[in-house]
Structure formats: structure tokens, C-alpha cells
């Protein structure tokens, strides 16, 4: 049994299911992967359903049952259930390990439980830096690595700062989800173009039997100047395109930049070519 239907719970739950283990996921919110919108999550939900993963949404774990062979759960309607479980994987709640390291004695300022740093990853204490999960969201390994490089170069005497336009987030579910920059609903106060191209119309996806699971690439761009604000995608092996998505935002690409870039055929990257084309009103393959 997995407690938590966020990205860690689903990544591990899906991995266990692929190994032939019966998996039940209990999530307190009304949907899995609540940080993503329904369209991104739907292909993953369908995979769980097809592969017999049991979902209890809007439910709350109360603890082990009296016999110690299951878990007592309260559903959103108030119904009490006891679900069988050989092992329980708890994937909810993360907090930084900031106690016991002398931070209090050093008078390092905090943002809640996180260490406060500036754009150089420097604390208020001279020659004391902090990176990664310790300094807050996004708590991702590649962000920590990038911050570590910045700090190493600063210590070596170079002028550097950590100020990325966007940091990609990947959910290694089945299929995978990538999100970089703004989701459509996050572009508040801006008129945007939201353009989606399905893997069902991508030759490479079809040849990999990856075109029928509802995968797509979606581009969010500002309507006034076509500046790309965000890219989201769901589909098999889509994590391999995270770098291209992020590069487009980092370089300040507009829809015309991506639409005018020749993408090799047959590749999944063609979907990233066609999504902006569709947003401009002239997609080729749909």
C-alpha cells in the first residue's frame, strides 16, 4: 500500500506494479497528482486503471488495524474501511533536516524550515552557502546540482548567480509527465495561446506503440507577442525532451522560433514543432 498519490507515490507505486506487486494508493485529495491539471494526469490515471492499481481518493489513513495486517482508512463520505496491506510505503510530508547542524548558533536566517539564501546561494554568514532541498522549492536533484556548480565557481573566484528562467519538473510515471514554466491556469492576468499536439499524430510515437495512451505536447504562449511561457507534455519517453522545452524558455523563444526550427523525422520532438505550428494556425499533421 502507498500512502500518497503525489509524484513520489505514483512513481514508486507504478514501479512496484510493474514488478507484479498488488498496489493500493490512498490519497487525501480528490485526485492523483494534484499539482498537475486533469489533462496531463488523465493518461496516467488510465494506466493505473488498466493495470489494476486500486485508488482511494479523498481518503485518510488512520493507522494500522488491530490485527496489524491492514490499514484503517476513512473515506470522503466518512465510511470506515480496513484495507489489507503487507507493506506500507509513506510518501507524504517532506521537511528539511536543519536541526542539529549548528544553524541556530550561527544565526543563519531561515524562511520557515528552509535556509534563506540570495541569488548566489549565499546565506547571511560569510562563506556559508546552501543549496538544494535545504533552500526550498523546487526540491529537485537537478536544481541542487546547478546550484552546487554556481557555488563552486563563486568559491573559485568567478562572478555567478543562480537565476534560471525555468526549472523542468518530471514525473516518471507511466506515461511520463514533463512540466516547464507556467501551466495554462497559472498565467493569470495574461491572455495566452494554449496549443496542444497529440502523440496520436506523431509517426515516431505510433511506431513505438506510444500514440494511443493520450499523450501530447502542449505549449502556453503570451498572445500579445507569442513568447513561450510554459511547456507541458505527457507520454512515453517524453522526459527526454525536457531539455529542449527548458532551452526554449531560457532563450526567450516565441512560437515562430520553434515552428521555424527543423526537427528530425521521425522523432518525438516533432510534436514540439507541431504544437507551436498549431498555435499559429497551420499545423501540418492534424
Is residue 263 among the annotated active site residues? no
Q: CA 62, CA 256: separation in Å to the nearest integer?
A: 53
Catalytic residue among 56, 237, 265, 285: 265
Q: What angle do CA 93, 96, 102 make, to 5 degrees?
A: 150
What 3-state class would DSSP assign to 221? strand
Q: CA 185, CA 191: separation in Å to the nearest integer?
A: 11
- Give the closest residue to 58 by CA, choosing from 44, 76, 41, 73: 76
Beta strands in 52-162 (DSSP E): 54-57, 60-64, 70-74, 80-84, 89-90, 110-111, 114-115
In sequence order, the β-bridge partners of residue 193 are 221
H helical segments located in 119-265: 141-155, 203-207, 242-250, 255-259
Edge-to-edge, what's the strand order for the sheet holding 216-222? 169-171, 176-181, 228-235, 216-222, 192-198
Residues designated catalytic? 265
Amino acid at each position: 500500500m502507498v500512502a500518497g498519490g503525489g509524484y513520489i507515490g505514483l512513481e514508486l507505486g507504478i514501479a512496484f506494479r510493474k514488478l507484479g506487486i498488488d498496489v493500493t494508493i490512498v490519497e487525501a485529495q480528490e485526485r492523483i497528482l494534484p499539482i498537475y491539471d486533469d489533462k496531463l494526469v488523465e493518461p496516467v490515471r488510465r494506466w493505473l486503471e488498466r493495470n489494476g492499481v486500486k485508488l482511494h481518493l479523498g481518503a485518510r489513513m488512520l493507522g494500522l488495524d488491530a490485527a496489524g495486517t491492514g490499514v484503517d482508512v476513512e473515506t470522503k463520505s466518512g465510511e470506515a474501511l480496513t484495507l489489507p496491506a503487507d507493506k506500507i510505503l509513506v510518501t507524504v510530508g517532506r521537511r528539511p533536516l536543519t536541526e542539529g547542524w549548528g544553524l541556530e548558533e550561527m544565526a543563519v536566517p531561515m524562511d520557515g524550515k528552509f535556509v534563506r539564501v540570495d541569488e548566489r546561494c549565499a546565506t547571511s554568514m560569510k562563506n556559508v552557502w546552501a543549496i538544494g532541498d535545504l533552500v526550498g522549492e523546487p526540491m529537485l536533484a537537478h536544481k541542487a546540482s546547478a546550484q552546487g556548480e554556481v557555488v563552486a565557481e563563486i568559491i573559485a573566484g568567478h562572478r555567478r548567480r543562480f537565476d534560471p528562467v525555468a526549472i523542468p519538473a518530471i514525473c516518471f510515471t507511466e506515461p511520463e509527465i514533463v512540466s516547464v514554466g507556467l501551466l495554462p491556469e497559472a498565467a493569470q492576468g495574461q491572455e495566452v495561446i494554449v496549443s496542444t499536439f497529440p502523440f496520436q499524430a506523431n509517426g515516431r510515437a505510433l511506431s513505438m506503440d506510444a500514440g494511443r495512451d493520450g499523450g501530447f505536447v502542449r505549449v502556453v504562449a503570451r498572445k500579445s507577442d507569442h513568447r513561450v511561457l510554459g511547456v507541458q507534455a505527457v507520454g512515453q519517453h517524453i522526459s527526454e525532451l525536457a531539455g529542449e522545452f527548458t532551452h526554449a524558455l531560457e532563450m526567450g523563444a516565441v512560437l515562430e522560433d520553434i515552428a521555424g526550427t527543423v526537427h528530425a523525422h521521425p522523432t518525438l520532438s516533432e510534436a514540439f514543432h507541431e504544437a507551436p505550428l498549431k498555435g499559429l494556425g497551420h499545423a501540418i499533421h492534424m
